[in-house]
């Protein structure tokens, strides 16, 4: 299976990136992916924001935007899944091409712009979801008159089928969306989302996803607002606008940069944030190996997510990272993931 996957990944990289992404989803739904489910153990089992995870390695938002592959993804080794982003109304997103591989950097640049089939279609799929911890990334329509209200609308529509919902105000691909990270705007937005959450028959855990391009004053504001809002966790971080040290023909494309070049920056942000709030943090950005997942955890993350690394390593990479992480925890004498959280924070401060 691994040999066939390597051949498939190599073949996919010869295709247009967005086409290859769609074919990868189709391949998973055709039964061509792993089926064993998440590897777990006493050492790997953990809890984040009250959610019980088989292991701390999750799938980041964006891979399965429309929740079309939930049953297939369940077998791929992840401890939890996040789908979306979903917006109230369907939208096509930005013009193509809008996804670019940076092979030399093991990275990608995207400017999708929240392309998705809309909350009603996604809610219908989520209603038939498999067991396991599943969340939805909440977004806003580009042409909305009230973007802050859009997040609450999506939660109201889909919340009955979720374990967590992520407020995504950190995508760089919807004009002025990141303005919602400002202190007053963020407080008002989260208040609306938490009001909608309280109205659900069974409220979900609400997470906030932040950008890696925030300075320390902005991180202070985010932590203060997050602590006051009643949210359950913070995801750090989304993609970056930085282009320092990139190589190859697509390095100057506009959009959000993900993958290996983001690792150090995003890990520093999560470490800094972990000194400002007691909320659990999920580390995202450049996770492509067990060592990198472990570094995020030791910097202050209670769990991690990956996405871009799958472009280069294939879907089985998730299971490889989980098993490698278990070995690293054992080697350093940690009985649980929770025991390791924050133990190497000083390396990134």
Confidence check: pLDDT of 58 > 70: yes
Domain membership of residue 248 as a residue range: 2-348
pLDDT of residue 1: 60
Query: Residue 318: which pLDDT band, with cuts at 50, 70 and 90?
Result: very high
Spatial distance between the Cα atoms of 82 and 61, rounded to a whole number of angstroms: 5
Pairing of strands 134-138, 256-259: unpaired
Looking at the chain, the whole-number percentage of residues with pLDDT higher than 70 is: 100
Number of domains composing the chain: 1
Contact 44, 302 (CB under 8 A): no
Looking at the chain, the whole-number percentage of residues with pLDDT higher than 90 is: 91
Q: What is the CATH number of the domain that holds 27?
A: 3.20.20.70
Confidence check: pLDDT of 293 > 90: yes
pLDDT of residue 171: 82
Tell me the mean pLDDT in the region 305-329: 97
Confidence check: pLDDT of 113 > 90: yes
DSSP code per residue over 270-327: HHHHHTT--S-EEEESS--SHHHHHHHHHHT-SEEEESTHHHHH-TTHHHHHHHHHHH
Residue 285 backbone class (left: φ over 0; alpha: ψ -120 to 50; beta: rest)? left
Catalytic status, residue 171? yes
Give the dihedral sign, CA 259/317/305/327. Answer: negative
When the pLDDT of each residue in the chain is averaged and rounded to a whole number, the result is 96
Tell me the mean pLDDT in the region 116-138: 98
Spatial distance between the Cα atoms of 234 and 303, rounded to a whole number of angstroms: 11
Give the dihedral sign, CA 201/205/211/217. Answer: positive
Spatial distance between the Cα atoms of 341 and 235, rounded to a whole number of angstroms: 15
Catalytic residue among 157, 170, 171, 289: 171
């Amino acid at each position: 299976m691994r040999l066939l996957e390597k051949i498939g990944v190599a073949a996919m990289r010869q295709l247009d990136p967005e086409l290859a992404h769609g074919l990868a989803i189709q391949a998973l739904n055709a039964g061509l992916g792993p089926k064993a489910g998440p590897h777990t153990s006493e050492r790997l089992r953990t809890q984040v924001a009250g959610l019980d995870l088989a292991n701390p390695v999750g799938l980041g938002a964006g891979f399965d935007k429309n929740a079309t592959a939930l049953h297939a993804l369940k077998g791929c080794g992840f401890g939890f899944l996040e789908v979306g982003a979903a917006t109230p109304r369907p939208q096509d997103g930005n013009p193509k091409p809008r996804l670019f591989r940076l092979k030399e950097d093991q990275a990608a640049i995207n400017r999708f712009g929240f392309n998705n089939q809309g909350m009603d279609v996604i809610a219908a799929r989520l209603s038939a979801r498999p067991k396991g911890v599943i969340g939805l990334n909440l977004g806003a329509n580009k042409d909305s008159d009230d973007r802050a209200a859009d997040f609450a609308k999506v939660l109201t529509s889909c919340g009955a089928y979720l374990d967590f919902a992520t407020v995504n105000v950190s995508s760089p691909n919807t004009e002025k969306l990141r303005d919602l990270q400002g202190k007053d705007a963020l407080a008002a937005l989260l208040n609306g989302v938490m009001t909608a959450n309280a109205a659900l028959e069974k409220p979900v855990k609400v997470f906030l996803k932040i950008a890696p391009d925030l300075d320390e004053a902005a991180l202070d504001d985010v932590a203060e607002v997050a602590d006051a809002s009643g949210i359950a966790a913070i995801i750090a971080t989304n993609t970056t606008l930085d282009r320092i040290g990139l190589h190859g023909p697509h390095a100057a494309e506009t959009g959000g940069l993900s993958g290996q070049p983001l690792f150090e920056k995003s890990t520093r942000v999560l470490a800094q944030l972990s000194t400002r709030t007691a909320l659990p943090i999920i580390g995202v950005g450049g996770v492509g190996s067990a060592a990198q997942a472990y570094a995020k955890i030791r910097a202050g993350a209670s769990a991690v997510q990956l996405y871009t690394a799958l472009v280069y390593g294939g879907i089985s990479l998730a299971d490889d990272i989980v098993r490698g992480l278990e070995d690293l925890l054992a080697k350093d004498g940690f009985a649980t993931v929770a025991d390791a959280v924050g133990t190497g924070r000083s390396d990134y401060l």
